[in-house]
Amino acid sequence: MTDGAEAPILSEDLDDGIAVIRLNRPTRLNALTREMVADLKYALVATAARKSVRAVIMTGNGRGFCAGQDVAAADARNRASPSGLVERYYWQEQFAGMVEQIRAMPQVVIAAVNGPCAGAGMALALAADIRLAARSARFLNAAVRLGLTAGESGMSYLLPRLIGASRAFEILITGRTVEADEAERIGLVVRLADEEALLAEAEGLARQILANSPFATEHTKRVVWQNVDAPSFKAAIELENRAQILASMTEDYKEATAAFTDKRAPRFQGK
């Protein structure tokens, strides 16, 4: 992971198992270069491996979350030495790999969307488990207006599952902007916050999650996202039953029932 004030990806720890990953090219609205994609993937993999981290907040420095691919950098490459098919496909997989990594993380990932959130940046936000947004947030996938398909970095999979197929298709096929108020209304984000309060809102949500059993939160995430694509109701029930019985065998479950009876807060230890 690149470190330092000028690093394109910054990582820091808050107390009690919360990590913050910040995109850090504020003068370019955190637009993604190829190098930045590699750095973000590294930061995500490194964070996922940390057992002490249970929630991850992803946000952007400056006045934007992420403007997507740095189109100016792509244009410069195209003019100087256009990439061949093999190279282009490799980097397409790297962009998509960021999204895959977010979805695979055992931690709960909260996107705190400040300002513009476009293209691959929108895909990053969609891959998060929960999205909060500042009132300045604007969601956009303009790929169809750049001669590309709107199905990039998992968006054609994620967006219909979050807001419904018909609405998602209309947004993707027109390439129009979704303002913050609409994003909240259609369920793309769970709530809005003033710009200066956004990170505090995200941290407060993370602390609500951390108040629960580590096993329970991790396996709730697994069950919910796996059952979105369950082949049948019966298959979903089978997965739920397995996870529930496993949870009931943990020491944290015993602690939770004892705390309920004793009318005190539980002291979970992740066992």
**Angle between the N-to-C axes of helices 214-227 and 233-248, in degrees from 0 to 180, rounded to the nearest 10:** 170
Find all residues with CB under 8 Å of 30, minimum gap 6, and list them.
23, 24, 60, 61, 62, 64, 65, 66, 67, 121
Q: Which residue matches tokens 């809102």? A: 201
Mean predicted lDDT score pLDDT of the chain = 92
The pTM assigned to this predicted structure is: 0.92
**Structure tokens belonging to residue 257:** 């029932």
pLDDT at 88: 85
Are 122 and 159 in contact, with CB atoms under 8 Å apart? no
pLDDT in tens, 222-267: 999 999 999 999 999 999 999 999 999 999 999 999 999 999 999 9
The SS3 assignment for 228 reads coil
- For residue 3, pLDDT beyond 70: no
Residue 266: other Cβ atoms inside 10 A:
18
Fold type of domain 9-210 = 2-enoyl-CoA Hydratase; Chain A, domain 1 (3.90.226)
CA angle 265, 189, 52 (to 5 degrees): 40
pLDDT at 143: 87
Q: List C-alpha distances in Å: 183 to 139, 161, 206.
A: 8, 14, 21
Written as one letter, the residue type at 225 is W
| Confidence class for position 197, pLDDT limits 50, 70, 90 | very high
How long is the chain? 271
pLDDT in tens, 64-113: 999 998 877 777 777 777 778 888 888 889 999 999 999 999 999 999 99
Q: What residues does each domain of the chain span?
A: 9-210, 214-262
| Residue 10 parent element (H or E) | strand 9-14
